[in-house]
Each structure stands twice: as structure tokens, then as C-alpha cells.
Amino acid sequence: MLQFDVSNALPFLPDNWLSSRLDGLTESRNLLEKGTGLGGGFTGWVRLPENYDQQELSRLLHTAKIIQSQSEVLVVIGIGGSYLGARAMLEMLTSPNYNLLCKKTPQIFFTGNTLSPDTLTELLDYVRNKDFSVNVISKSGSTTEPSIAFLLFRQLLEEKYGRDGARDRIFVTTDRHEGTLRQLANQEGYATFSIPNNIGGRYSVLTPAGLLPLAVAGLRVKEILAGAADAMVRLRTPGQDNPAWQYAAARNALYESGKPIEILACYEPSFRFFGEWWKQLFGESEGKEGLGVFPASVEFTADLHSMGQYIQEGTRNLFETVVRFVVPLSSCLLDPTPGDLSGLDFLRGKDLRFVNEQARKGTALAHVDGGVPNLLLSVDERTPYWAGQLVYFFEYACGLSGYLLGLNPFNQPGVEAYKENMFALLGKPGHEAHRDALLSR
């Protein structure tokens, strides 16, 4: 069962940390239910697990099998919410070494998220002599980075397989009706999947944007959705026992008490990229109007030997949230030779499961003693079902949290600023005046 434990943060919280926020949480919850808050047009993710288009899901699973059968490599093209969710879930549920370990399913590379010629040519060269397919993911179809990557990989596909052959290897995930990518797909006859227009990029991992690559990797996407659906039923139910209410309230109270940095930690290395997904979710939802908790992430115990010193004794402006998988998938018994020089005699007969868990407990207490509030979110196992619960938990808590701050959690107006400057500097038509202004600086 998904459990949220605030006990190691209580010494840092006022008594009324939750009670004083119940009205705000009730209001926030109602805004999410009715879609009447700021950005309410982008709350389609709230009911997504119960509204899932079963016909599209069947087609998605069938398409995944086609991609598997015809591809050594799947190139996923997307940026931001159009790749972080899929990559986070893929690595968390398999391994950061998926591409080295996969045997029956294609390797999966995420690109379209860089303008580096070194990185793009590396991947182009890698797939040149392999059978590959492309899944291009972009709601608008007009974002520069994925557009460039799609141009390059589509040219390579057409070179290798001809225009007709390429058509069978291009899979488009985009808006149902609008945008240049939809237009192109219609024109060329590419297979398409839809991102509902009431779901924004960082909330799209449970749409085909996330699920198609995950299905290609052989992950049981129906179980991911089942986990999300069960979390949905629980988290939409109002009340102070609601773990998403508690998390949103606790982090809001910690932020207001002078802790503007939150560190997400996990004791499983495969969780690393989930931290990147979480950073977008919260950073992009709350980082506006001069507000918002700064989201950072660490991998424990590795980073106890890098960021651990700072967390223990640095500027006291942070709190941490730990995600725990209660039962690891593997076990590993330690069996040092009695009296050897390993210094591990005291661990003979113990399982690494136990050792890792004691590290977590010991660290939480050390950090509390050092002045760092510690929040703990536990799910049973590192499996698709529980991953679905985790995703929905963070999405829902983030919606509540943004409304508690009085913000629109569903827009990202600041992302335009660099694009506008970049277009001007690149000489894109229509940006001439802005270009002159920039060049004169």
C-alpha cells in the first residue's frame, strides 16, 4: 500500500501544519475535480485512468508488437514531458542499463532533446546499420529540438527504406486534431496516437506519449494504468488521511518556514531518472511568479558520499523526500570469510535488502538530527503497478500543491523566453526587431 510518513518532519512543522491547510486543500481538490481553477483546461489527467480509451490502448499494444518485430532500435524523439516520463519509467522498471540488457525487445534511445551535433550524429551513426523505427512525440509538432531530430532520422529512414518503407517505421504521438505534426502524419499516412488536448506534457506519461515506448520495452502497461486507477480512487477522496493532501501540506508548510529546496531521494539507482521527471513536474508547475520549491534529486547511498555532507551540515534551507520500495526484487546474501580483512564480519548471513534498509533508516535519523525534515513515501515494490501509483500520487499532489500556492500549476509561460531569443538569433522570419535588440546588447 502507498504510505506517506511525515513523522520525521514533525519536529520542523507547526502543530497546525495540516489543519490550517484543510480549507485550502478542499478548495484545491474541488478545482481539480471541476476543472474550474487556473489552467483548469489541463486537468484531463485527473480522470485519465478511468477514462482510458480502451480501443486506442489495444491498438497501442498491437503497434508495440509491430515495432518490436521490425526493430533492433526504437528512436524516441521528444523533449520535456514528451520523453522524461517514458525514460523515467523505463529505467525505474528495468534498469539504467536497459539498452545493454534487453534481449527480446528493441533498444530504446531518447533524442530530440538536444541541439548538440556530437550527440545527434552519434545516434545517427549508431542506428545507420541497424533496423530501427521512430516514435516522434510532440503535442504541437513545432518545438525546435524534436523537429530537428525528426528531420534527421526521417531522412535516414527514407534513405534506408525508401519513402514507403519509412512510412511503416514512423509512429507519431501528437494532438488528435491540431498542429503541424498531425498535419504531416495525415499527409504521409503515418500511424498516430493522441495526447488528449486537456493534458499537458509533464502530466502525459500515462498517455501514449509514455505508454507506447514502455510497451515496446515489454513493460505491462495495463498494470501501470491499474496502479494509477487505484491511486486515483484513493487520492480523489478528500480528507486529512489522504497521503497526497499530507504531502502537499507538509511541503507547503516547510516552504513557508524557510526551506526553499526539496531533495528527492531513493535507495535504488534505477530511480535516478524518475527524479528528473519529478523535477519537471514540480519545478515547472510551481516555479513561477517568483515562487516555488527548488526541486533537486539524489541517488542514495551513492550521493551520501557527495551531496551527503551538504545535506547534513550545509545551509539549512532544505528538506528531503525519500521514495522507498518496501520489498526489493532481488536478494543478495553476504558471506565474508570469517576473520578476513574485509571488515564485514558483522554482516555475515545478512541480506543486502536489510543493509540497504538500515542505511535508509540511519540516514533519515542523521538528517533529522542535522536539521533536515524527512518525508517518506513507501510503495510495495518496484513494479509497473506501483510505478503507476507513484506517478499518480506525484501528479495529484503537484496539482494540489500548485493551487495551495495560488498559482496556475498547468502552464509554463517562462519556457517561451529562451525560444524567442533563440529564434531571433537564428534569424527566424518574424523575429527581426527582437533580433536587432538582442544583437545590440
- Least separation in angstroms between residue 299's CB and a copy of itself is 8
Site for a copy of itself in 189-228 (CB under 8 A): 201-202
Cell of 128: 545507420
305 in catalytic set: yes
Cell of 176: 488528435
Interacting span for a copy of itself (CB under 8 A) from 45-53, 151-159, 205-213, 245-253? 151-159
Residue indicated by cell numbers 555475515: 348
- Least separation in angstroms between residue 440's CB and a copy of itself is 11
- Least separation in angstroms between residue 169's CB and a copy of itself is 18
DSSP run (H or E) holding 191: strand 191-195
Site for a copy of itself contains 326 (CB under 8 A): no
DSSP run (H or E) holding 378: strand 374-379
Site for a copy of itself contains 366 (CB under 8 A): yes
Site for a copy of itself contains 119 (CB under 8 A): yes
By rule CB under 8 A, what count of residues binds a copy of itself? 129
- In terms of DSSP bridges, do strands 3-5 and 294-299 run parallel, antiparallel, or are they unpaired? unpaired
Question: Could you give the angle at the alpha carbon of 108 between the alpha carbons of 103 and 110, nearest 5°?
Answer: 165
Asked if 156 and 123 touch (Cβ cutoff 8 Å), the reply is no
- Least separation in angstroms between residue 52's CB and a copy of itself is 25
Report the side by side order of strands in the sheet with 132-137: 107-111, 73-77, 132-137, 170-175, 191-195
Instruction: Give burial (CB, 10 Å; 0-12/13-18/19+) of 68.
Output: middle
**With left for phi above 0 and alpha for psi between -120 and 50, is residue 173 left, alpha or beta?**
beta
Interacting span for a copy of itself (CB under 8 A) from 37-45, 144-152, 160-168, 392-400? 144-152
Catalytic residue among 284, 286, 320, 395: 284
Site for a copy of itself in 254-273 (CB under 8 A): 260-261, 267-270
Site for a copy of itself contains 66 (CB under 8 A): no
Site for a copy of itself contains 22 (CB under 8 A): no
Q: Which of 240, 272, 214, 256 is nearest to 74 (CA)?
A: 214
Site for a copy of itself contains 318 (CB under 8 A): yes
Interacting span for a copy of itself (CB under 8 A) from 28-36, 160-168, 217-225, 305-313? 305-313
Catalytic residues: 284, 305, 419
